[in-house]
Chains A and B, each alone.
Chain A
Amino acid sequence: MTGAVAARHSPLEGVAAAFAEVATVTDRTVSLAELPFLAQINLRADPADAPLLARLGAALGVDLPTIPNTAAAGPRGDRYVLWLGPDEWLVIDRAGTEASLEGRLRTALRGGRGSVVDVSANRTTIRLAGPAARAVLEHGCSIDLHPRAFGPGRCAQTLLARAGVILISVSAEPEYRILVRPSFAAYLATWLLDAVDGAT
């Protein structure tokens, strides 16, 4: 499989250089980077089945968030469980862990109502951070991004410019994660670079 891993291509490998320059040209008020190949598991489960949710939470080492649009961080910093809907979550973890995650969750789901789907390649992730990061998003995102409404630990499925995204607020710096479908990634990257230009 190493050969295959070596042959992976992330949707934004072509703009890596442009992303890298952003921190410099904006005097570190904004930074952009792709975080490729993160493990992502889409989890659906009957929210009324408390034992099931408990089993799934135990399998993940973190309780499934039941407050809409919040993200629970795992024991180690790199696992997040995002509320996507009343019976839907997205589990994110280090690249390469999707198989074991899927297996653990499928075992935990056994006997319950729901689904477990590996969607690691279904979206890529963009890290957007810096003092002007929020302003950049405000050029194309209509939800309230003020820390009071969208501080660390909040997430949202929404529109950024003309692309559907999952937005996560991970730190007060501020620092955001933007999850986007590979087919929209190039468009979104172009839009972000343009918005950075106007916001700074």
Chain B
Amino acid sequence: MLLIPCPWCGPRDETEFSYGGEADVPYPGDPAAADDATWAGYLFMRANSEGPLHERWHHAAGCRRWFVARRDTLTSEFLT
């Protein structure tokens, strides 16, 4: 049971959160201009690193804020 540091509510149990995968994947400014490969990249390609990873979390059962945290996916330690 991960203890996830919500920047607003402080550490809460994993069960209060939903996961958003890799952070900082921007929505293409002009999707229409993207070719199929670029668009597929936006839809499906996300970092899946073993080790430190910038991730999006949503404090779904708490303050309902999305936030970004850095976590080691091997040890599940949250990094600052």
Contact = CB atoms under 8 A, between A and B. Distances in A.
Do A and B have CB atoms closer than 8 angstroms in the complex?
yes
Interface of A: 68-69, 84-86, 88, 142-143, 156-159, 164
B41 interface: no
24 contacts: A68-B9, A68-B10, A68-B63, A69-B9, A85-B63, A86-B8, A86-B63, A88-B63, A88-B64, A142-B1, A142-B12, A142-B13, A142-B15, A156-B62, A157-B9, A157-B62, A157-B63, A157-B64, A158-B12, A158-B16, A158-B62, A159-B15, A159-B16, A159-B61
Interface of B: 1, 8-10, 12-13, 15-16, 61-65
Nearest to A87: B65
Contacts of A142: 1, 12-13, 15
Nearest to A164: B61
Contacts of B63: 68, 84-86, 88, 157
Contact of A68 (B8, B16, B64): B8
Contacts of A88: 63-64
A88 B63 CA distance: 9
A58 B15 CA distance: 37
B15 A156 contact: no
A71 to B, nearest CB: 14
B8 A158 contact: no
Contacts of B8: 68, 85-86
